[in-house]
Amino acid sequence: MTDSRLCVLCRGGSRRLCGLEYCPVLIRTSSLYTLKRVSHELASTSPPSVYVGWVGYPRVVVAAGLPPEVGDTSVYDQPEKWLGLPLDEVLRFRLTLIRGGRTLGVNDVNSSFVDKIREIALSSKPVDVEVFFEKSIRPKVLLDEHVPPMGPLAPVKRLDLGSNPYVNRHVEKVYGDRDLDARGAILYLYTSSVPVSTIMRVLSVGSLGRESRRKLVPTRWAITTVDSTISEALIKKIVDKPTINDFRLYYLSRSGNLFIAILLPTRWMFEWMEAWFPGSTWNLFGGEVVVEGDWEVTSKRREYPSIGGCYYASRLAVAEYLNKLGRQAGAVLYREIYPSFNVPVGVWFVREMVRALLSTQYKSYKTLRELLADIRGITKVPVESIVTRSRILSLLIRGKRLFD
């Protein structure tokens, strides 16, 4: 809860007297006002955007993302471009993205409704859509750990495409190849410079893989699958490369978050850690900082990480960076999340933040102890606590060899 007196003084200004990275009043008012203009019929331009739910699996919601406007709406579903935008703006346009859909079985990939959703999903440019809803829209939004925020779900009576989708030739190729498995299709699209957000969208509507195995994939599962599959393939490429020859420290603060990356002159190993402060998204009611994490020392992880999808999103960004360097290294990533960041925005934020983090200038050290000494003053959590909670750092600082 925010003190109403602060809202009266701030009035949505840049001062952010409540301490949040966005203005809840402006977001709520703008979203509700925009959605009130929508009744039972809507002319829209999908970014393109689609959504496949997971609740009730194997019967799931299949929907197109429909903003209540016509024109160039491409930014509504391009996470790769959101990091440069204020969090207010991202939340505003995402929360007005209506999910117009129906509930279907995951094997109904050839139904006429899914065919139309698929045409939207495969397009690389916005698609004009005319939709008729079964009833008025209730402004209940989607907030999820994995998926970017989306607006209300509205049952669709009829959905018509007003323009022909433009399909990238690489996407068209894997969609038409009914003998190529899903993993091969994902990697082909990635090496063809298709954005990961597009690959996730195409996978979710059952457009990749061998024909007999194609089915609808919940969006949150598609996101993790793509991050995991691509990062695993990239890691296999770097494990034969020479290691870096120094200890490297990267750090970046943005939107109520601090990200730190430590690269180690070792064989591949990886750890992702998060410190959630009281009042932040997943520690709203706690009284102390909660630090959690997970790790690996092989090129293929067999168990789903306890820390969730951010693990794979961050691992992808690190694997991309090391491949560009042509080196292998150990990587310990650490994130602090402060009370001003208290709304789930999806794992895209972690993926893009780590990409941005590793594009900054790093500091080089001869020893790990020197590097850790420099972290004092950067983090709010004492460095001793971070080392204690880190499986990799705690072993290395004691001179242990992980591969023993």
What is the DSSP code string of 29-48? HHHHHHHHT--SEEEEEE-S
Task: Look at residue 296 and give its three-state secondary structure.
Answer: strand
Distances in Å between the Cα of 376 and the Cα atoms of 173, 357, 372, 385 are: 51, 18, 7, 11
Does the pTM surpass 0.85? The reply is yes
Q: What percent of the chain has pLDDT over 70?
A: 92
d(CA 350, CA 275): 14
H-only helix segments in 177-258: 182-191, 196-204, 219-238
Using the predicted structure, report yes or no on whether residue 32 has a pLDDT greater than 70. Answer: no
Task: Look at residue 358 and give its three-state secondary structure.
Answer: coil
Asked if residue 234 lies in contact with residue 186, where contact means CB atoms within 8 angstroms, the answer is no
- Which tokens belong to 46? 């999908």
Residue 350: per-residue pLDDT: 98
| Range with lowest mean pLDDT among 246-250, 284-288, 362-366 | 284-288
d(CA 266, CA 130): 55
Scored b (16 or more CB within 10 A) or e, 15-35 reads eeebebbbbbeebeebbeebb
Region of 382 (left: φ > 0; alpha: ψ -120 to 50; beta: rest) is beta
Residue 251: per-residue pLDDT: 98
Residue 133 CB coordination number (10 Å): 20
pLDDT digits (tens, 9 = 90+) for 154-208: 999 999 999 789 999 999 999 999 999 999 999 999 999 999 999 999 999 999 9
d(CA 169, CA 202): 13
Q: Per-residue pLDDT averaged across 53-71, rounded?
A: 96
pLDDT digits (tens, 9 = 90+) for 286-332: 999 999 999 998 767 778 998 999 999 999 999 999 999 999 999 99
